[in-house]
Amino acid sequence: MSMDNVSFDTILHGGLVLDPATGRNGMFDIGVTGGRVAAIESDLSKAQASEKIDVSGKLVTAGMIDTHAHIYQHVTGKFGLEPDLVGVRSAVTTLVDQGGPSCMTIGGFKNFLAKKSDSRMLCYMSCYLVGGLEGHLYPELHSPSAMNIDHSVRVARENRAMVRGIKGHAEIGGASRWGLEVLKMAKEIARQAELPLYIHLGQMWPSVEEGDVPSADELIRALVPLMDPGDVLSHPFTRHPGGFVSMDTGEVHPIVFEALARGVLVDVGHGSHFSFEMAKRVLDAGVRPFTLGADLHGYNVSVPGEGLSDADRSASPFAGSAPFNLTVAMSELLALGLTLDETVATVTSNPAKLLKMEDEIGSLQVGRVADISVVEILNGRFKLSDNSGVDVVTDKLVFPRFCLREGRKIEADSPLIPPPFYA
Ligand SMILES: [Zn+2]
């Protein structure tokens, strides 16, 4: 059918369209009408549109999905960022809060934040009654006695559209206090609610000295048998004890391969603990992340105009000063040798599958909601830094320009977008 006389609300003209879900990879024009993708054609230059946007030289993908956000603003204290700064104003259309809202606090997340934000907001609900207050600052709020399986299962079921999984932590500070009890209860919530379990790896709380203090290696050995296909291990590249790399051998823990063979998925959960050295070791061992996840929060980024002092920030084990966001993390995956197609998949098609929303988001297809990200791949010499003092020079930097969210154009003007650092 000729598109010459068709009229659209918006046409994105001349971009490189990359859509791992469908295998589409090439120059296409995209027509959007009524908040939906109405056409993807090699040439819509003769079609009518209220707004024609030239995206030549830009990369056009399905709306990016950040699988690890901390956006329960105000309720999680300084930890929770303003959703749209992390989301649409960074060209990211969908945010998955990891463990901020809980069975007791999800009402605020839904009614005070998600309803007034332009970004699509979903969550992996915290397994703890209080959720992720102030980034889990006080361990005693996250003990087995501060959990309730029935309450959590009921609320997860009642909020099925928003709650896409359950969040828990496997880390030696908690294990030194309560053993594996918290993890077992988190798994039970996930099992009864028929949702995947997302596990944070890497130390979060200081260990207590009395009793049997498990090693990080013992902990991951005990954890993996609790996990099912579709559950998620996060922070594989952490420089903190307890990630994928054994502190004893310096190699990827053998049980990680057992978990992956069973269908357990890997989310990068970049954060401030991302380490190039660990990432290289894990990737060289053949492990591939399924999803990316930026893991930005108030202790690892500075929000201009909001006075979190350096002292406040460094009180957190997740403090960091190396600037990053989702597109910087994408640039790092490229620098580490992943292909552009693999990298785009970690923020589009794969997270959509993780969320069991692959029929709605994560792919550019006619008839779908017009959540579309437009980024530019800058060429030059750029410096990427981690918080262990390693700098990597790369020649490609993914930089966000704008997104369409349900067809509406929103500029990527977030103050959380780090400027390019030229090497
Ligand atoms: Zn996190």
pLDDT of residue 216: 81
pLDDT of residue 202: 85
User: For residue 24, what are the β-bridge partners?
Assistant: 19
pLDDT of residue 5: 79
Q: Under a CB-based contact definition with an 8 Å cutoff, are residues 99 and 122 in contact?
A: no
Chain mean position to CA 30 = 26
Q: Indicate the SS3 state at residue 86.
A: helix
pLDDT of residue 322: 80
Which CATH superfamily hosts domain 7-61+367-411? Answer: Urease, subunit C, domain 1 (2.30.40.10)
Percent of the chain surpassing pLDDT 70: 95
Q: What is the mean pLDDT of residues 191-205?
A: 94
> Residue 287: is its pLDDT beyond 90?
yes
For residue 271, the CA-to-ligand 1 centroid distance in Å is 7
For residue 329, the CA-to-ligand 1 centroid distance in Å is 14
> Residue 315: is its pLDDT beyond 90?
no
pTM of the model: 0.96
For residue 74, the CA-to-ligand 1 centroid distance in Å is 16
For residue 1, the CA-to-ligand 1 centroid distance in Å is 48
User: Residue 123: which residues within 8 A CB-CB, separation 6 or more?
Assistant: 96, 97, 98, 99, 100, 101, 106, 109, 162, 163, 164
User: Tens of pLDDT along 302-312?
Assistant: 887 665 566 66
Q: Which residue is it, tokens 């960022």?
A: 81
pLDDT of residue 158: 98
User: Tens of pLDDT along 222-271?
Assistant: 999 999 999 999 999 998 888 899 888 999 999 999 999 999 999 999 99
Assign 209 a pLDDT band (cuts: 50, 70, 90). Answer: confident
185, 250, 253, 298 from 281: Cα distances, Å:
32, 9, 11, 29
Q: 173 or 167: which carries more pLDDT confidence?
A: 167
Q: Which residue is it, tokens 């970049």?
A: 270
For residue 98, the CA-to-ligand 1 centroid distance in Å is 6
Percent of the chain surpassing pLDDT 90: 83
Query: Chain-wide mean pLDDT for the chain?
Result: 94
pLDDT of residue 1: 59
Q: What is the mean pLDDT of residues 153-182?
A: 95
CATH of domain 63-354: 3.20.20.140
For residue 406, the CA-to-ligand 1 centroid distance in Å is 27
The count of C-alpha atoms lying within 13 angstroms of the C-alpha of 205, restricted to the half-sphere facing its C-beta, is 23
What residue spans define the domains of the chain? 7-61+367-411, 63-354
For 213-234, b/e burial (b = at least 16 CB within 10 A) is: ebebbebbebbbebbeebbbbb
pLDDT of residue 156: 98
For residue 60, the CA-to-ligand 1 centroid distance in Å is 27
For residue 402, the CA-to-ligand 1 centroid distance in Å is 25
Q: Indicate the SS3 state at residue 315.
A: coil
User: Tens of pLDDT along 4-26?
Assistant: 778 999 999 999 999 999 999 99
User: Residue 330: which residues within 8 A CB-CB, separation 6 or more?
Assistant: 292, 343, 344, 346, 347, 398
Chain mean position to CA 140 = 27
DSSP conformation class of 111: I
For residue 61, the CA-to-ligand 1 centroid distance in Å is 25
Q: Left if phi > 0, otherwise alpha if psi is -120 to 50, otherwise beta: which for 367? A: left
pLDDT of residue 311: 61
Q: What is the mean pLDDT of residues 390-415?
A: 97
For residue 10, the CA-to-ligand 1 centroid distance in Å is 36
User: Tens of pLDDT along 136-148?
Assistant: 999 999 999 999 9
14, 113, 199, 294, 295 from 157: Cα distances, Å:
44, 20, 20, 27, 25
Chain mean position to CA 356 = 15
Distance between CA atoms of residues 173 and 169, nearest Å: 10
Burial of 419 from C-beta contacts in 10 A (0-12 / 13-18 / 19+): exposed
pLDDT of residue 241: 80
Assign 42 a pLDDT band (cuts: 50, 70, 90). Answer: very high
For residue 353, the CA-to-ligand 1 centroid distance in Å is 20
Q: Under a CB-based contact definition with an 8 Å cutoff, are residues 375 and 402 in contact?
A: no
